[in-house]
Amino acid sequence: MENTAEKFEEEILDACIRHAKEVLAEQLPLVKDKKYDFAPQFRDLTIQLYLVGVMQQFYDQYEATTTDAQEKAFHALYYMMTKDGVKSRRAKNQAAFIRQMSRLDDGDEALALALGYESKPGDRSLAEVFDHYVNESRVSKGLWRFYDQGKKILLLGGLLFAMAGIWFVTIYLPESDNITILAVGLLAALFFIVPVFLVGLLIHRYKTRKGSRTPTPPQ
């Protein structure tokens, strides 16, 4: 009897994942048509939250409460990631992160999860989620590119300044010991990294504030 129940649970789980993938396959073309410019991390997070809502809706027919259905949905998301080739530990951490992001500071559910739960065949609910964040510069791909390029600039620039500092000490102060040489190289790197980092931080804050002041167009 116990084996039969477990088999039934597995069948429901597999059916839930198939359903979620079918919904996603229906929604993604509508999203791609809009040509959004979101950071990859934000895009993936939004889609996964949406899928949790879709799976929760699926489990409503089998569970006594909405809370139980949502718990099963998070488990289904983890199981789906492992089936797609994600290592178990990483999938577990990602599922925990998705759970954390599923609630806003005021206790409300995340928009993506809520619209996924309310989704219906043939609608464009996933695109509606992304529409809500179109003017949010904090999740834009452009800002992510700026951040990614900034890391490379800091790394390469800091390395070059460190090498220049070490070269200077080696040539003009040959009696210096290794600790002094390394300290000068580190200080030289900091002379580049700190100002560039502060400038980048100011640009980031400016872009973020500018995006937050932009009014959201009427839907």
Break the chain into its structural domains and give their ranges.
2-133, 141-213
User: What pLDDT is attached to residue 205?
Assistant: 67
pLDDT at 213: 43
| Structure tokens given for 73 | 């949905």
Per residue in 111-153, pLDDT tens? 999 999 999 998 999 999 999 888 776 666 555 665 666 778 8
Lowest mean pLDDT among 6-15, 140-149, 164-173: 140-149
pLDDT tens for each residue of 60-96: 999 989 999 999 999 999 999 999 999 999 999 999 9
| 138 and 204 Cβ atoms separated by less than 8 Å | no
Chain centroid to CA 84? 18
What pLDDT, on the 0 to 100 scale, is given for residue 15? 96
The pair phi, psi for residue 26, each rounded to 5°, is -75, -35
Q: What is the pLDDT of residue 45?
A: 93
CB 13 within 8 A of CB 76: yes
Q: Are 52 and 113 in contact (CB under 8 A)?
A: yes
Cα angle: 166, vertex 171, 175; to 5 degrees: 90
Whole-Å CA distances, 122 to 27, 113, 126, 151: 8, 18, 11, 42
